[in-house]
A and B are shown apart, each in its own frame.
Chain A
């Protein structure tokens, strides 16, 4: 059986630097930081008191009150981004067969706000269990894909992938595979996360994974800078409509790009620390290149995982040099997490959108906040520091890695006949 081709026909994004896909792209190219002091709760006693929040978010702008309060904020984010992508792809206007449209979403954590609120309410009570009937359906990670399908009556394959910060790259690959294998014609994929809560920030602080640069939040996410001190927590969502190529052509859909390959691997090393040799990361990029049927030198741009942690950034760069050899110097490399912060399970989706828009605009978004070279990193590499760079981008790769040692890499190409 030959595999079918899969293209991208719709995009949506709700991010700390822009609340639609076009606004997100504008934020990236401008090099805008989404970091600011935390507003969602009083973080006065926390080691980290800033994050990349979706700015001025009010669910009433998107949902009627009854609908909004039945969804955790991570599901609200997901539905908003999915709605944008679905409208962009004109799936409803074109009356696409809804039995052949699936939703495969990614979330690393799910409804942490709801879980935390219910546990606090119980702990503050007299032991009588008064759990809200919407608590479980709000909390479970798959309520995102469930709500998106219910809203639009999409009856195809429906589930959520959970692999920490690789979650939505895994959802993109799953969607890719289901369409390639003719189990669906269209899949709304992407990811969403909303973990800027007391338990989310406190938990990541305990892991010593987050930046504590409270005096300069906008400069805290600085991948590849010598003084980097951890990631900055972000929140939001992004969505891609993936569609079988002939199906998209037949309905005259706008085609952004082709998804040509996906790779997965595991570090099999440690539950939170990256393998310093980057062996799992070498493997995942090799797997993706093989699946795409391209050579390393065909790649123009890598949107790295690059979270701004001391260990992770170096391991990924080492792996890129192993896989790409001399061509590593010909690549543009950037970490857009320098601007958006780390959206955990939604990172893969928002960064896939960045790759696709980089191809559309032939422009590489920057790695902002570069102040001091890290002597451990090869200075001949082009990290696209501080300013976006104009460049023809025909093939772009997006890497994401998650706690648990999950590695995922996806490759997009400009559309060709």
Chain B
């Protein structure tokens, strides 16, 4: 797994209080990992801070799973 993927998983485990085994690429933040709308906003914000990127709202809407977050950040992280 890439370093970015490791960091993304760690943020999700920390913020959503879930087990590492649950954080699979297909896992949806809201449907599988128990996130509500505010949790999702917080996750995006943490990704922005950690990877020093700015994720526009229209693109943030498309980040709904662990895998989507990883690929977005692998593409955009500085």
**Which positions in A face B, CB cutoff 8 Å?**
64-66, 130, 132-134, 137
CB neighbours of A137 from chain B (8 A): 38
Q: Distance (Å) between the CB of B2 and the closest chain A CB?
A: 24
Cα–Cα distance between A134 and B15 once the two chains are bound (Å): 12
**Cα A134 to Cα B42 with chains together (Å):** 8
- List, in ascending order, chain A residues with CB within 8 A of B42's CB: 132-134
In whole angstroms, how far apart are the Cα atoms of A65 and B19 in the complex?
A: 12
Within 8 A of A (CB), among B6-53: 15-17, 38, 41-42, 45, 48-49
Q: In the bound complex, do residue A133 and residue B16 qualify as a contact, i.e. CB atoms below 8 Å apart? A: no
Distance (whole angstroms) from the CB of B46 to the closest CB of chain A: 9
A66 and B38 contact, CB distance less than 8 A: no
Inter-chain CA distance A32–B48, complex, in Å, is 49
What's the minimum C-beta distance from A134 to chain B, rounded to whole angstroms? 6
Dominant secondary structure of chain B at its interface with chain A? helix
Bound-state Cα–Cα, A132 to B44, Å: 10
Nearest to A128 among chain B residues (CB) is B54
State whether A130 touches B41 (Cβ < 8 A).
no
**Interface-central residue, A66, A132, A134, A137, by most chain B CB under 10 Å:** A66
Nearest CB of B to A121, in Å: 10
Taken together as a complex, chains A and B put the C-alpha atoms of A66 and B14 apart, in Å, by: 8
Q: Is the CB of B48 within 8 A of A64?
A: no
Which residues of chain B have C-beta atoms less than 8 A from A133's C-beta? Answer: 38, 41-42, 45
Q: Tell me the complex Cα distance, A382–B48, Å.
A: 63
Q: In the complex, what residue of chain B is closest to A70 when comparing beta carbons? A: B38
B residues apposed to A, CB below 8 Å: 15-17, 38, 41-42, 45, 48-49
Complexed CA–CA distance, A137 and B39 (Å): 12
- Please measure, in the bound complex, the distance between the C-alpha atom of A149 and the C-alpha atom of B15, giving whole angstroms: 24
B54 — nearest CB in chain A belongs to which residue?
A: A128
Whether the Cβ atoms of B16 and A66 lie closer than 8 Å is yes
Q: Which of B17, B38, B45 contacts A65 (CB 8 A)?
A: B17
Determine the distance from Cα of A64 to Cα of B34 in the docked complex, in whole angstroms: 14
Q: 13 interchain pairs (CB within 8 A)?
A: A64-B17, A66-B15, A66-B17, A130-B45, A130-B48, A130-B49, A132-B42, A132-B45, A133-B38, A133-B41, A133-B42, A134-B38, A137-B38
- The complex places the Cα of A66 from the Cα of B41 at a distance, in Å, of 15
| A334 to B15 alpha-carbon distance, docked (Å) | 47
Complex Cα–Cα for A132 and B46 (A) = 9
**B16 / chain A contacts, CB cutoff of 8 Å:** 66
Q: A64 CA to B19 CA in the complex, in Å?
A: 13
A137 to B16 Cα, complex, angstroms: 17
Cα–Cα, bound, A64→B48 (Å): 26
A130 to B16, CA, bound (A): 19
Q: Which residue of A has the minimal Cβ distance to B48?
A: A130
- A133 and B17 alpha carbons, distance in the complex (Å): 17
How far, in Å, is B39 (CB) from chain A's closest CB?
8
Minimal beta-carbon separation of B66 from chain A (angstroms): 17
For the complex, give the distance between the alpha carbons of A374 and B53 in Å.
65
Alpha-carbon separation in the docked complex, A232 to B22 (Å):
47
| Bound CA–CA A416/B41 (angstroms) | 55
Q: Give B49's nearest chain A residue, CB to CB.
A: A130
How near does chain B come to A187, taking the closest CB pair, in angstroms? Answer: 28
Given A65-B17, A133-B41, output 11 extra A-B contacts at Cβ < 8 Å: A64-B17, A66-B16, A66-B17, A130-B45, A130-B49, A132-B45, A133-B38, A133-B45, A134-B38, A134-B42, A137-B38
Q: Which residue of B lies closest to A132 (CB)?
A: B42
User: How far, in angstroms, from A134 to B17 measured CA to CA in the complex?
Assistant: 15
- Closest beta carbon of chain B to A293's beta carbon, Å: 48
Measured between beta carbons, the chain A residues less than 8 angstroms from B17 are 64-66
Complex CA–CA separation, A219 to B50 (angstroms):
48
Which residue on chain A has the smallest CB distance to residue B44?
A: A133
